[in-house]
Chain A
Amino acid sequence: MEHQAAAAARPARGHGRAARPKRTSSGKGQRAAEVFILSAPAIVIFVFFVIVPIILGAYYGFYRWKGFGQPSVTGTFVGFQNYRTALSDPAFQQAILHTFEIVIGSLVIQGPLAILFALLLNQKFKLRGLIRTLIFVPYVISEVIVGTGWSLILQKDGALNEILKHMGINGPDWIADPHTAMWTLLLIISWKYIGFAVILMLAGMQSIPEELYEAAEVDGAGFWQMQWHITLPLLMPTVRIWVFMSMIGSLQLFDLVYIIWGRYLSSTAGVSTMATYMVREGRNAGNYGYGSAVALIIFVISLVLALVYQRFVLNRDLKSDEIERKRLERLEKKRARQAKRALATEVK
């Protein structure tokens, strides 16, 4: 408990240290106090509930521990055994594979569709506002409700198969059949989250200057030519951000699978994810040390993917970041000041 509090207090103290040299005049002291008052609550709560658990999880991951008392007292230190067990467990390997299928499937299905839908809704026509609201509906509904509704619709003798029967098609067992379960999941995910992608793309399209299209039209470009040569390239920053968000979301996917397939069916139907494995083997089995180790593996996989993506794809967007620019400007000013001072002392 004690070291958690210390960890939470650390950034605030660090900030105090950074601000101290500035307290030469009362105005600067007041400024530092303002910065402290405004930012400390957010930093403290963020560090305490987001950063500290991840650090604690790394520590718990070294123990075989049932979650009561301190792991060093009531648990057994097992070193990297939990990590070895997890990584060599075929069920977890399957879960990692499924998770990556979901990451890629979501991107491939939702990306092109979202851009097309956004193009459609970017046309000027009546009722556009209403339609934009309606396509956002699935995104607003909770995963539990989406899961409950879809699992009723997709039952073997549910509504969808009934409609298919009228069309002369014998529908599969959408949920339990391992051959179709992953496709079913991807369908539900796409249905649920594409509204967000569409809104994001729409926002991106609306920031493209109208003049570009007018100029292209003068040059005799057709509708699709314009979309291909103007909209798509200028939409890429938005697409890159969406890919990032979708990827992170897919890596953490838990609710939908857990609700529709339940604790045990998910692995037999071939849709278990890293997160459902973690909850099943960690909390539900009461193995908190093991669960924490699995969580850390998920964390590392997500972090590595995020960093690689940022380094190679997002970087050019982020480089133009204003904060970074201002930081460099200040650094330059400081250097100039230092050089001046150095010159002054030399003259003396």
Chain B
Amino acid sequence: MARHTAAQASASKYTKANGYRRSSKNPWGSPIVYLLSLILVLICIVPVLYIILGGFRSNSQITTDPAGLPHPWIFANYEAVIHSDIFWGELVNSLIVGILTMVGVVVLALMASFVIARYHIRYAAAMYALFSAGLMFPMTVGITPLYLLIRNLGLSNSLAGLILPQIAFGLPQAVIILVPFLQSIPNELEEAAMLDGCSRLGFFWRMVIPLSMPGVATVGILTFVGSWNGYMLPLFVLSDSSKYTLPLGVQMFSSEHSVDTAQVLAFTSLAMLPALIFFTIFQKKIVGGLTGAVKG
């Protein structure tokens, strides 16, 4: 709350000092914009830095000065995690689940969105309504019977038992994001492709998929990160610790090593690294993809 009023107070100073025009002409902006941005960024990343830097400290350092910096820097925690089979096993499980979920969602959602966006039949509108209704029901409400269903299919304690439901629950968001992209492909393009002897499916394969890449990237990233971070479904489905994905692994590790805080922090920061890197590389695409979805 204090942050809020401070932002307002200094922002109004900013208005008096220089208006909108000055800031839009001067690429460097005003110092107050920088100051506020700096505060915002610090709030967002200091807790994350705390986790990463904490991994470079010893337990006694953390106990005597909880808010301090590493002094001296200790690499043993990270080394121990990197040399543990548990961490790599969980990383591989998370990667398998994340990639297969991403591929499944992107492929199925592209196909379904193509029908919704380009086939002008009533069934398409009904399908769109079905998926947008699905957006309202995240996994939580169905988790108990879903778990029983997965168990009855013999998929409990298997990675497939995570991937299939995650694809199903990822579809609504993906369809909602992809449909505006596919709708915005001009009809003339389709007609031209038809004249050149392309079938509708050929048009889908040769034109639609390449043209909808920004949307596909957004969907892919959001799905992968969602799967990477998923906690509730693995908690229900996986019981054997060799099948654990990283979120479950982090939780198990932190309850087993609750006295070894530094080790927990090292494990935690290595667990968040892949999703963070993946996201940083592709983050520009997300804003573009969301812009399309919001406008549509």
Contacts and interface: CB of A to CB of B under 8 A. Distances in A.
Given A53-B149, A148-B254, A282 B43 contact: no
B145 A152 contact: no
B65 A162 contact: yes
Contacts of B28: 125-126
A112 interface: yes
Contact of B109 (A42, A57, A131): A42
A60 to B, nearest CB: 6
A259 B231 contact: yes
B225 interface: yes
B136 A144 contact: no
**Most A Cβ at <10 Å: residue of B26, B116, B168, B286:** B168
B7 A202 contact: no
Contacts of B65: 162
Interface string A219-262: 00011101000000000011001000000110010110001000
A79 interface: no
B280 interface: yes
Contacts of B19: 217, 222-223
A206 B120 CA distance: 31
A323 B145 contact: no
B145 A53 contact: yes
Given A38-B111, A202-B287, A223-B19, A140 B279 contact: yes
Given A46-B168, A143-B247, A330-B120, A54 B137 contact: yes
A60 B279 CA distance: 40
A279 B144 CA distance: 8
B232 to A, nearest CB: 6
Nearest to A19: B123
Interface residues of A, number: 111
A117 B183 CA distance: 31
B125 A324 contact: yes
A140 to B, nearest CB: 5
A254 B23 CA distance: 43
Contacts of A50: 134, 137, 142, 168-169
A255 B231 contact: yes
**Most B Cβ at <10 Å: residue of A34, A129, A288:** A34
Nearest to A36: B115
Contacts of B24: 123-124
Interface string A4-21: 100000010001001100
A296 B125 CA distance: 27
Interface string B6-34: 01100110110001110110111100011
A158 interface: yes
Contacts of A97: none
Given A19-B123, A49-B149, A223 B15 contact: yes
Interface residues of B, number: 112
Contact of B112 (A39, A57, A112, A249): A39
Contacts of A41: 108, 111
Interface SS majority for chain A = helix
Interface stretch (B78-86, B185-193, B209-217, B267-275): B267-275
Contacts of B51: 145, 148-149
Interface in B271-292: 271-272, 275-276, 279-280, 283-284, 286-287, 290-291
A18 B122 contact: yes
A249 B136 CA distance: 9
B195 interface: no
B67 to A, nearest CB: 4
Contact of B50 (A48, A149, A155, A302): A149
Given A125-B29, A125-B33, A191-B47, A144 B251 contact: yes
A292 interface: yes
Contacts of A132: 283, 287
B16 to A, nearest CB: 9
A134 interface: yes
A248 B4 contact: no
Given A142-B231, A255-B231, A120 B50 contact: no
Interface string A267-278: 000000001001
Contacts of A237: 294
Contact of B145 (A136, A141, A157, A292): A292
A326 B120 contact: yes
Interface string A79-108: 000000000000000000000000000000
Interface of A: 1, 4, 11, 15, 18-19, 31, 34-35, 37-39, 41-43, 45-46, 48-50, 52-54, 56-57, 60, 67, 112-113, 116-117, 120-121, 123-127, 129, 131-138, 140-145, 148-150, 152-153, 155, 157-163, 191, 195, 199-200, 202-204, 206-207, 213, 217, 222-224, 226, 237-238, 241, 248-249, 252, 254-255, 259, 275, 278-279, 282-283, 288, 291-292, 295-296, 298-299, 302-303, 306, 322-324, 326-327, 330
13 contacts: A38-B112, A42-B112, A46-B130, A54-B142, A57-B144, A116-B4, A116-B8, A123-B33, A142-B231, A145-B271, A153-B47, A283-B236, A299-B142
| 4 smallest beta-carbon distances between A and B, as pairs | A125-B29, A142-B229, A49-B168, A42-B112
